[in-house]
Structure 1
Amino acid sequence: MRLKCASLTNDNWLNYLNKHRETLRTVVIENVTKMLACSSAAFGSKEYRCSHVNCTHHKYIHQTCKSRFCSRCGIKATERWVRKQQHAFPESVSINTLH
Protein backbone atom coordinates (compact mmCIF):
# COMPACT_ATOMS: atom_id res chain seq x y z
CA MET A 1 0.00 0.00 0.00
CA ARG A 2 1.39 3.39 -1.00
CA LEU A 3 1.19 6.38 1.29
CA LYS A 4 -0.33 9.45 -0.38
CA CYS A 5 0.40 12.92 0.98
CA ALA A 6 -3.06 14.21 0.08
CA SER A 7 -4.72 11.89 2.60
CA LEU A 8 -2.11 12.30 5.29
CA THR A 9 -3.18 13.59 8.68
CA ASN A 10 -1.81 12.80 12.10
CA ASP A 11 -4.48 10.14 12.69
CA ASN A 12 -4.03 8.56 9.27
CA TRP A 13 -0.26 8.56 9.69
CA LEU A 14 -0.43 6.88 13.10
CA ASN A 15 -2.75 4.17 11.76
CA TYR A 16 -0.53 3.63 8.71
CA LEU A 17 2.62 3.62 10.85
CA ASN A 18 1.19 1.05 13.25
CA LYS A 19 0.27 -1.27 10.38
CA HIS A 20 3.39 -0.84 8.22
CA ARG A 21 6.22 0.13 10.59
CA GLU A 22 8.33 -2.91 9.63
CA THR A 23 8.32 -1.99 5.94
CA LEU A 24 9.01 1.74 6.33
CA ARG A 25 12.53 3.12 6.26
CA THR A 26 13.58 5.21 9.25
CA VAL A 27 14.13 8.26 7.05
CA VAL A 28 10.52 8.06 5.81
CA ILE A 29 9.17 7.87 9.35
CA GLU A 30 11.33 10.83 10.41
CA ASN A 31 10.35 13.03 7.46
CA VAL A 32 6.62 12.34 7.62
CA THR A 33 6.66 13.01 11.36
CA LYS A 34 8.54 16.28 10.78
CA MET A 35 6.17 17.33 7.99
CA LEU A 36 3.09 16.75 10.14
CA ALA A 37 4.58 18.86 12.92
CA CYS A 38 5.71 21.66 10.58
CA SER A 39 4.88 25.16 11.80
CA SER A 40 3.83 23.88 15.19
CA ALA A 41 5.36 24.52 18.59
CA ALA A 42 7.18 21.17 18.27
CA PHE A 43 10.05 22.95 16.46
CA GLY A 44 10.01 25.96 18.75
CA SER A 45 8.54 29.38 18.21
CA LYS A 46 9.37 33.05 18.41
CA GLU A 47 7.20 35.65 20.05
CA TYR A 48 6.91 39.10 18.54
CA ARG A 49 5.47 41.92 20.64
CA CYS A 50 4.36 45.38 19.69
CA SER A 51 6.99 47.96 20.66
CA HIS A 52 4.47 50.58 21.81
CA VAL A 53 4.42 51.02 25.58
CA ASN A 54 0.73 50.35 26.29
CA CYS A 55 0.14 47.84 23.49
CA THR A 56 -0.41 44.20 24.38
CA HIS A 57 -0.45 42.80 20.84
CA HIS A 58 1.83 39.86 20.27
CA LYS A 59 2.19 37.05 17.79
CA TYR A 60 3.83 33.63 17.94
CA ILE A 61 5.61 32.39 14.83
CA HIS A 62 6.30 28.65 14.87
CA GLN A 63 9.47 27.27 13.31
CA THR A 64 9.21 25.04 10.23
CA CYS A 65 10.49 21.49 9.76
CA LYS A 66 12.88 22.32 6.87
CA SER A 67 12.26 18.88 5.36
CA ARG A 68 12.40 18.50 1.57
CA PHE A 69 9.48 16.08 1.91
CA CYS A 70 7.24 18.83 3.32
CA SER A 71 5.05 20.61 0.76
CA ARG A 72 5.74 23.97 2.42
CA CYS A 73 9.46 23.64 3.18
CA GLY A 74 10.32 21.44 0.21
CA ILE A 75 9.21 24.02 -2.34
CA LYS A 76 11.56 26.55 -0.76
CA ALA A 77 14.48 24.13 -1.06
CA THR A 78 13.54 23.37 -4.67
CA GLU A 79 13.34 27.06 -5.57
CA ARG A 80 16.76 27.68 -3.96
CA TRP A 81 18.23 24.77 -5.93
CA VAL A 82 16.75 26.08 -9.21
CA ARG A 83 18.20 29.56 -8.59
CA LYS A 84 21.65 28.04 -7.99
CA GLN A 85 21.40 25.90 -11.14
CA GLN A 86 20.23 28.63 -13.50
CA HIS A 87 23.75 29.91 -14.12
CA ALA A 88 24.78 26.46 -15.42
CA PHE A 89 22.32 26.56 -18.32
CA PRO A 90 22.63 28.86 -21.34
CA GLU A 91 19.91 31.37 -22.15
CA SER A 92 17.30 29.80 -24.39
CA VAL A 93 14.29 30.94 -26.32
CA SER A 94 11.15 28.84 -26.56
CA ILE A 95 8.95 28.99 -29.61
CA ASN A 96 5.53 27.41 -29.38
CA THR A 97 3.80 26.47 -32.59
CA LEU A 98 0.30 25.22 -33.13
CA HIS A 99 -0.21 22.08 -35.21
Structure 2
Amino acid sequence: MHTHSYQDPPYVYPVYLDILTDTPLTVRHIFEDNHNWGAFRIAEKDNLRDVEINEVNKMLSCKDESRGFFTYLCERCGTLLKVHFGCNSRICSSCGKNHTDKWARSLQNALWGIPHRHVALTIPEAL
Protein backbone atom coordinates (compact mmCIF):
# COMPACT_ATOMS: atom_id res chain seq x y z
CA MET A 1 0.00 0.00 0.00
CA HIS A 2 1.41 3.36 -1.04
CA THR A 3 0.75 6.46 1.02
CA HIS A 4 1.66 9.92 -0.16
CA SER A 5 1.79 13.31 1.43
CA TYR A 6 1.22 16.34 -0.77
CA GLN A 7 2.05 18.78 2.00
CA ASP A 8 5.81 19.18 1.75
CA PRO A 9 7.63 19.97 -1.51
CA PRO A 10 8.89 18.41 -3.64
CA TYR A 11 5.71 16.56 -4.48
CA VAL A 12 6.04 13.01 -5.72
CA TYR A 13 3.21 11.73 -7.86
CA PRO A 14 3.54 8.00 -8.50
CA VAL A 15 2.88 6.66 -11.97
CA TYR A 16 1.83 3.03 -12.19
CA LEU A 17 2.40 1.53 -15.60
CA ASP A 18 1.78 -2.00 -16.74
CA ILE A 19 4.99 -2.71 -18.62
CA LEU A 20 3.43 -5.74 -20.27
CA THR A 21 1.02 -3.69 -22.38
CA ASP A 22 1.73 -2.14 -25.74
CA THR A 23 0.00 1.11 -24.78
CA PRO A 24 2.37 4.00 -25.49
CA LEU A 25 3.21 6.31 -22.61
CA THR A 26 1.77 9.76 -23.24
CA VAL A 27 1.56 12.99 -21.29
CA ARG A 28 -2.17 12.37 -21.00
CA HIS A 29 -1.56 8.93 -19.49
CA ILE A 30 0.74 10.42 -16.83
CA PHE A 31 -1.84 13.06 -15.89
CA GLU A 32 -4.69 10.53 -15.71
CA ASP A 33 -2.82 7.63 -14.08
CA ASN A 34 -3.58 7.27 -10.37
CA HIS A 35 -5.58 10.56 -10.55
CA ASN A 36 -2.31 12.52 -10.68
CA TRP A 37 -3.86 15.65 -12.20
CA GLY A 38 -6.65 15.76 -9.62
CA ALA A 39 -4.22 15.33 -6.73
CA PHE A 40 -1.90 17.98 -8.15
CA ARG A 41 -4.76 20.45 -8.66
CA ILE A 42 -5.81 20.04 -5.04
CA ALA A 43 -2.25 20.36 -3.73
CA GLU A 44 -1.41 23.35 -5.93
CA LYS A 45 -4.81 25.05 -6.17
CA ASP A 46 -3.41 28.43 -5.11
CA ASN A 47 -0.42 28.26 -7.47
CA LEU A 48 -1.97 27.11 -10.75
CA ARG A 49 -2.82 29.74 -13.34
CA ASP A 50 -5.99 29.55 -15.43
CA VAL A 51 -3.98 29.06 -18.61
CA GLU A 52 -2.25 26.01 -17.11
CA ILE A 53 -5.53 24.47 -16.02
CA ASN A 54 -7.11 25.17 -19.41
CA GLU A 55 -4.19 23.65 -21.37
CA VAL A 56 -4.28 20.48 -19.27
CA ASN A 57 -8.06 20.18 -19.56
CA LYS A 58 -7.84 20.62 -23.34
CA MET A 59 -5.13 17.95 -23.53
CA LEU A 60 -7.17 15.53 -21.41
CA SER A 61 -10.11 15.85 -23.81
CA CYS A 62 -8.00 15.52 -26.97
CA LYS A 63 -9.65 13.40 -29.66
CA ASP A 64 -12.62 12.79 -27.38
CA GLU A 65 -15.93 12.44 -29.18
CA SER A 66 -17.30 15.42 -27.23
CA ARG A 67 -14.85 17.70 -29.12
CA GLY A 68 -16.41 16.69 -32.44
CA PHE A 69 -15.24 14.64 -35.39
CA PHE A 70 -15.29 14.18 -39.16
CA THR A 71 -16.75 11.04 -40.68
CA TYR A 72 -15.28 9.80 -43.94
CA LEU A 73 -16.90 7.20 -46.18
CA CYS A 74 -14.95 5.15 -48.70
CA GLU A 75 -17.24 4.97 -51.73
CA ARG A 76 -15.41 1.92 -53.00
CA CYS A 77 -15.69 -0.40 -49.99
CA GLY A 78 -18.24 1.38 -47.78
CA THR A 79 -15.87 1.70 -44.81
CA LEU A 80 -16.65 4.54 -42.40
CA LEU A 81 -13.75 6.28 -40.70
CA LYS A 82 -14.35 8.62 -37.77
CA VAL A 83 -11.55 11.14 -37.13
CA HIS A 84 -11.87 13.00 -33.82
CA PHE A 85 -10.80 16.62 -33.45
CA GLY A 86 -7.58 17.30 -31.57
CA CYS A 87 -7.16 19.76 -28.74
CA ASN A 88 -4.38 21.97 -30.17
CA SER A 89 -2.87 22.17 -26.70
CA ARG A 90 0.84 22.92 -26.50
CA ILE A 91 1.34 20.18 -23.91
CA CYS A 92 -0.44 17.42 -25.84
CA SER A 93 1.78 14.57 -27.05
CA SER A 94 0.25 14.63 -30.54
CA CYS A 95 -1.09 18.17 -31.03
CA GLY A 96 1.86 19.83 -29.29
CA LYS A 97 4.28 18.19 -31.69
CA ASN A 98 2.54 19.94 -34.58
CA HIS A 99 3.02 23.31 -32.85
CA THR A 100 6.68 22.51 -32.13
CA ASP A 101 7.34 21.48 -35.73
CA LYS A 102 5.70 24.68 -37.01
CA TRP A 103 7.78 26.78 -34.61
CA ALA A 104 10.96 24.95 -35.67
CA ARG A 105 10.22 25.60 -39.36
CA SER A 106 9.61 29.30 -38.78
CA LEU A 107 12.77 29.55 -36.68
CA GLN A 108 14.77 27.74 -39.34
CA ASN A 109 13.61 30.28 -41.93
CA ALA A 110 14.65 33.16 -39.66
CA LEU A 111 18.18 31.88 -38.98
CA TRP A 112 21.12 32.54 -41.23
CA GLY A 113 22.15 29.86 -43.69
CA ILE A 114 24.85 28.48 -41.41
CA PRO A 115 25.02 25.30 -39.31
CA HIS A 116 23.58 25.81 -35.84
CA ARG A 117 22.32 23.86 -32.84
CA HIS A 118 19.50 24.49 -30.44
CA VAL A 119 20.47 24.07 -26.79
CA ALA A 120 18.18 24.51 -23.79
CA LEU A 121 19.82 25.08 -20.42
CA THR A 122 18.06 24.81 -17.09
CA ILE A 123 19.07 25.90 -13.62
CA PRO A 124 17.86 24.12 -10.47
CA GLU A 125 15.26 26.16 -8.60
CA ALA A 126 17.44 26.09 -5.46
CA LEU A 127 20.04 28.27 -7.19
- Category of TM-score, reference length = shorter chain: 0.7 to 0.9
Quick one: distance in 2 between partners of 1:34 and 1:72?
12
The one-letter code matched in structure 1 to 2:74 is C
Partner of 2:83: 61
Q: Which has the higher contact order (CA 8 A, sep 6+)?
A: 1
Tell me which of 99, 105, 124 is aligned to 1:77.
99
TM-score, normalised to structure 1, is: 0.73
Deviation at 1:38, TM superposition (A): 1.0
Tell me which of 17, 31, 47 is aligned to 1:23.
47
Matched, 1:8 2:31: yes
Q: Which has a greater percent of helix?
A: 1
Number of aligned positions between the proteins: 92
For structure 2, list consecutive stretches of 5 or more residues without a partner in the other structure.
Answer: 1-10, 14-26, 117-127
RMSD: 2.6
TM-score, normalised to structure 2, is: 0.59
Identity score, percent:
31
For structure 1, list consecutive stretches of 5 or more residues without a partner in the other structure.
Answer: 95-99
